[in-house]
Each structure stands twice: as structure tokens, then as C-alpha cells.
């Protein structure tokens, strides 16, 4: 009985809070943290292999979209610029997938913002980014993670039309909207996954958050991010609030759920893994999915990430469950 471990890396540029350019700056972006993360994961991969005899593989989601085209002249710029990096991760057994953001320049506010309402722009962004990815690599992407985890019926149907087989954007039970005026963007952005299930599903064409087996079913498989939910006020809920890592992670906790990131708080992570192990033992298989950005993981975070992975492997082996680190495509083949 396997527990599939799916680690996604959104290969974004540095965000303003990590030394990147502000959202009200139309100039070129900074990408200092991406090569640093590659080096960190190379060391982590070797360490886990030597000590625990496991093969760590992850899925890197590369940018290709209209923002990249506007800034650099080509939507596929990141594929060419980091060509050596992508070759290295693929040679190490990782997968290269697609991460389109719907960033758009606002002339009125003079800032970048994530377009959520103009579906014509969003669909054109997908068409341009997909073609750039395919031309840059010589083959189309198998999997996708949408920028800021945003989807709609139109965007999900567009991925299906383009031939994307797996999407890993869903955050079951969560609806979150916010703005970042501190970094130059007062325009609200966010996503809604309040109705999405915890298990992988084929979305309905009429409702991207609902599984469907009828004629309206999309062929694409949605593989949700792992969310740990606890009843408000329960002991596990209260324990999950401590320690407060940062506002971004603890804010959703006040609605009764936690995002147990693989690089985050060990208590929340362990609770999510235990629930996944129970599903694996009762259902025959289960998955844990998490994502991170290049500027999320410092050296101290990497030590916590390594400890979390080691603990997950230990817990699985104690329960006779085998951990499979899977790329998006490998997970699709096992979960569909």
C-alpha cells in the first residue's frame, strides 16, 4: 500500500519580501533564489538516498506566460535562460511542468496584478504560455499548477483542451482573497476551492470544484494540495496554532484548516501525514501533496524539510506503508 509524496516547486522569480522587485515596477525580475534552491535540493536528495535509501524526486513548474513575454520579449524566456538548470533536474529524475501566472499590468494603478475576471485575457495567456513551453522544450507540458492557485470553469476547461493531463492547484475547503499594497499592488487577488474534495478527481466542465463522471467530465485529473482540517476549538486545532510561523500560514487556521507544508511546522505536517497513512491503510493508497517557492526555503527551512521527510518515512515504515516520491506524471499514472 503506497503513500505518494508529491512535492511541487513553483519556479517563480524572487518575491518582493525576499528581495525581488515590487509589483509596481515593470522592470526585469530577479531570480536569485531559484539556482540556490536547486543546489539545496541536490544536497537533500543525496542525503536522503545515503541515509534512508529513498529516491527523492520533485516536479518543477516553470513559468511561461504573458508577463514573462511582456518583460523579456518571449513567453518562454525562463525555459531558455535556465536551460542548464532544467536539464540537471530532469537528469536527476525530476519532472519539468508548467506554471502560468495571469499577471497583467494595470495602467491605472501602475502595478502587476493577477487577472481573475477577464477570461479572454486568461485564456489567451494560457494559449501563449502553453505554446511557448512546447516550443522551448520540444514537447508539451504534462502537468500544470496555476498561478496563485486560481481557476475557473473556463481556465480548467482550457487546460483540458490543451491536453494537460494533471493539474495540482486545488486547496480543498479554502477561499482566500488578499492584496499586497505594502509591495506595490493594492488590487485584490485570490482563489476559491471551498467545494473541492480532498481526493484526486476529474472536474466537471460545469463546476471545476466538483468531480464528475458524466458527459461533462474533463479528462484532466485534479490532484489537490494536502490540507489538514480540524474542528474549530478542538485540542488538535489549538495545538496547530503553535508555534506561529508567520501570518501567511496561521491566518487560514482561524477558519479551522491548516496548510501542512513539507517545509513548515513539524506538528501540522505530522498530523497530515498520519491522516494520509490512515487513508493508505484503509483505501490501499493515498497521496500527500505540497508546494514551495524558491524563496521559501532558507538553510534552516531545509533542515526542517529534511527532518519532516525523515519523520514521514519513519512513520510510514512503522505502519508497513511504502513512501513513493512521485513526479506529477508518476502520480497521475498511479492515481487516475
Mean pLDDT (whole number) for 249-273: 71
- Would you state the pLDDT for residue 306? 94
Residue 321: the pLDDT is 95
- The CATH homologous superfamily for domain 2-226+285-335 is Glycoside hydrolase/deacetylase (3.20.20.370)
Measured distance CA(106)–CA(187) in Å, rounded: 9
Mapped onto helix, strand or coil, the DSSP state of residue 159 is helix
How far is Cα 30 from Cα 12, in angstroms, rounded to an integer? Answer: 9
Q: What is the pLDDT of residue 52?
A: 92
Distance of alpha carbon 230 from alpha carbon 142, whole angstroms: 34
Q: Contact 116/150 with Cβ under 8 angstroms?
A: yes
Q: Please check the confidence at residue 230 and state whether its pLDDT lies above 60.
A: no
pLDDT tens figures, 10-26: 999 999 999 999 999 99
Mean pLDDT, residues 308-332 taken together:
96
Write the pLDDT tens digit of every residue in 166-193.
999 999 989 889 999 999 999 999 999 9
Residue % of the chain over a pLDDT of 70: 91
Q: Are 10 and 61 in contact (CB under 8 A)?
A: yes
Q: Where are the domains of the chain?
A: 2-226+285-335
For the four alpha carbons of 138, 144, 149 and 154, in that order, the dihedral sign comes to positive
> Rounded mean pLDDT of 267-272?
90
The whole-angstrom separation of Cα 205 and Cα 139 is 26
State the angle between helix axes of 266-283 and 299-318 in degrees (0 to 180), rounded to the nearest 10: 30
**Alpha-carbon dihedral sign for residues 298, 303, 308, 310:** positive
The pLDDT value given to residue 336: 82
Give the integer Cα–Cα distance in Å for 322 and 4. 9
According to DSSP, residue 201 is labeled B
pLDDT for 86 equals: 97
Q: Which residues fall within 8 angstroms of residue 215, CB to CB, at 6 or more apart?
A: none
pLDDT > 90 in the chain, percent: 81
Q: Which pLDDT does position 34 carry in this prediction?
A: 97
**Alpha-carbon distance 49 to 96, whole Å?**
21
Residue carrying the nine cell digits 493531463: 165
Spatial distance between the Cα atoms of 309 and 5, rounded to a whole number of angstroms? 10
Give the Cα separation of 329 and 322 in Å (integer): 19
Q: Which residues on adjacent β-strands are paired with residue 180? A: 185
Q: Which residue has the higher pLDDT, 271 or 6?
A: 6
Residue 91: its pLDDT value, please? 95
Task: Please give the pLDDT value at position 258.
Answer: 65
How many CB atoms within 10 Å of residue 154?
Answer: 13
Q: What pLDDT is stored for residue 145 in this prediction?
A: 98
Beta strands in 12-148 (DSSP E): 59-62, 95-98, 103-106, 111-114, 143-144
- Residue 202: CB atoms within 10 Å: 18
Candidates 1, 3, 6; CA nearest to 222 is 6
Q: For residue 181, report the phi and psi dihedrals to the nearest 5 degrees.
A: -60, -30
Query: How many Å separate Cα 41 from the centre of its chain?
Result: 16
- pLDDT class of 250 with cuts at 50, 70, 90: very low
Per-residue pLDDT at 162: 98
Beta carbons within 8 Å of 66's beta carbon, 6+ residues apart:
75, 102, 103, 104, 121, 124, 125, 128, 129
Q: What is the pLDDT of residues 110-152, one digit of tens each?
A: 999 999 999 999 999 999 999 999 999 999 999 999 999 999 9
Report the mean per-residue pLDDT for the chain: 91
Give residue 213's pLDDT.
79
Residue 235: pLDDT over 90: no
Extract the C-alpha cell encoding 105: 499590468
pLDDT digits (tens, 9 = 90+) for 141-165: 999 999 999 999 999 999 999 999 9
pLDDT > 60? residue 94? yes
Greater confidence (215 vs 184) lies with: 184
54-83 pLDDT, tens per residue?
999 999 999 999 999 999 999 999 999 999
Instruction: Report which of 175, 170, 220, 216 is spatially closest to residue 196, judged by C-alpha positions.
Output: 170
> Which residue stretches of 15-100 are H helix?
33-52, 66-72, 77-81, 83-91
Written in H, E and C, the secondary structure of 133-168 is HHHHHCCCCCEECCHHHCCCHHHHHHHHHHCCCEEC
Mean pLDDT, rounded, for 37-64: 94
Q: What pLDDT does 248 receive?
A: 40
pLDDT for the residue 246:
42
Amino acid at each position: 500500500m503506497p503513500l505518494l509524496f508529491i512535492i511541487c516547486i513553483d519556479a517563480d522569480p524572487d518575491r518582493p519580501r525576499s528581495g525581488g522587485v515590487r509589483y509596481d515596477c515593470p522592470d526585469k525580475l530577479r531570480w536569485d533564489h531559484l539556482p540556490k534552491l536547486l543546489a539545496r535540493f541536490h544536497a537533500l536528495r543525496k542525503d536522503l538516498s545515503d541515509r534512508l535509501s529513498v529516491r527523492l524526486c520533485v516536479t518543477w513548474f516553470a513559468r511561461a506566460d504573458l508577463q514573462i513575454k511582456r518583460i523579456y520579449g518571449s513567453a518562454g524566456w525562463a525555459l531558455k535562460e535556465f536551460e542548464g538548470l532544467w536539464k540537471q533536474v530532469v537528469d536527476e529524475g525530476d519532472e519539468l511542468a508548467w506554471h502560468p501566472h495571469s499577471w497583467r499590468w494595470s495602467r491605472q494603478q501602475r502595478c502587476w496584478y493577477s487577472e481573475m475576471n477577464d477570461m479572454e485575457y486568461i485564456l489567451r495567456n494560457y494559449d501563449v504560455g502553453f505554446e511557448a513551453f512546447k516550443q522551448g522544450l520540444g514537447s508539451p507540458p504534462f502537468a500544470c499548477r496555476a498561478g496563485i492557485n486560481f481557476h475557473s470553469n473556463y481556465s480548467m476547461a482550457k487546460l483540458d483542451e490543451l491536453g494537460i493531463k494533471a493539474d495540482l492547484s486545488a486547496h480543498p475547503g479554502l477561499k482566500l482573497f488578499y492584496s499586497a499594497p505594502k509591495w506595490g499592488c493594492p488590487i485584490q487577488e485570490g482563489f476559491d476551492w471551498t467545494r473541492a474534495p480532498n481526493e484526486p478527481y476529474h472536474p466537471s466542465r460545469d463546476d471545476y470544484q466538483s468531480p464528475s463522471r458524466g458527459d461533462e467530465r474533463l479528462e484532466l485529473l485534479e490532484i489537490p494540495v494536502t490540507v489538514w482540517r480540524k474542528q474549530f476549538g478542538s485540542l488538535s486545532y489549538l495545538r496547530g496554532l503553535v508555534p506561529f510561523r508567520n501570518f501567511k500560514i496561521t491566518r487560514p487556521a482561524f477558519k479551522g484548516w491548516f496548510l501542512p507544508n513539507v517545509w513548515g511546522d513539524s506538528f501540522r505536517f505530522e498530523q497530515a501525514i498520519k491522516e494520509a497513512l490512515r487513508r493508505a491503510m484503509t483505501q490501499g493508497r493515498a497521496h500527500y501533496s505540497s508546494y514551495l517557492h524558491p524563496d521559501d526555503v532558507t538553510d534552516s527551512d531545509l533542515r526542517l524539510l529534511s527532518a519532516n521527510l525523515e519523520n514521514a518515512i519513519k512513520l510510514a515504515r512503522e505502519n508497513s506503508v511504502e513512501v513513493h516520491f512521485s513526479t506529477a506524471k508518476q502520480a497521475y499514472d498511479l492515481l487516475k
